[in-house]
Amino acid sequence: MNSHQSVKLIKFADDTTLIGLISNGDETAYRREVARLVSWCGHNNLQLNAQKTVEMIVDFRKVTAPLPPLALMDSPITIVDSFRFLGTTITRDLKWEPTISSLIKKAQQRMFFLRKLRKLKLPPRMLAQFYTAIIESILAPLSGTD
């Protein structure tokens, strides 16, 4: 469906992500792909929800100029500083901290249950199995050992 090499369309289940590289301030290809996506959805009986659609702009230039707002079916699209994509928080400065903080919080919550099980005198082997299945499984992607 993509017609321009600087724009990438990613579809996963009922979520669609359109990524556009805008060079030299020319966002023509990006906006054309948005229009093509809207048209394709219309022709394939798929409904886009403008209220659930967001745009995030990652721009590392020293001097930035505001881009004209993007509209989807005549509804303005909200510009956000971050969003969740397949369990990962992506921020406009591309920092990992929000994702790592979220995983650490989830691991700490699960450690609570491990301590409760230890207090109930579960055998060490069962505690290790609980740890591996419930806690290590969310931390392994951080260490690159999944």
Integer Cα distance of 139 and 146 in angstroms? 9
C-alpha–C-alpha distance, residues 44 and 36, integer Å: 12
User: Taking phi first (over 0 means left), then psi (-120 to 50 degrees means alpha), and beta for anything else, what does residue 78 get?
Assistant: beta
pLDDT averaged over the chain? 84
Tell me the percentage of the chain whose pLDDT exceeds 90. Answer: 23
Most confident of 22-26, 59-63, 111-115: 111-115
pLDDT at 52 over 80: yes
C-alpha angle 23-26-30 in degrees, rounded to nearest 5: 90
Q: Which of 11-15, 52-56, 90-94 has the lowest average pLDDT? A: 11-15
Q: Which pairing describes strands 71-72 and 7-12: parallel, antiparallel, or unpaired?
A: unpaired
Summarised one tens digit per residue, pLDDT across range 38-48 is: 888 889 888 88
pLDDT in tens, 58-91: 887 777 777 777 888 788 888 899 988 877 888 9
Name which of 73, 81, 75, 37 is nearest 55 in CA terms: 81
Comparison of pLDDT for 32 and 12, the residue scoring more: 32
Say if residue 6's pLDDT is above 80: no
Q: Distance (Å, rounded) from C-alpha 79 to C-alpha 92?
A: 10
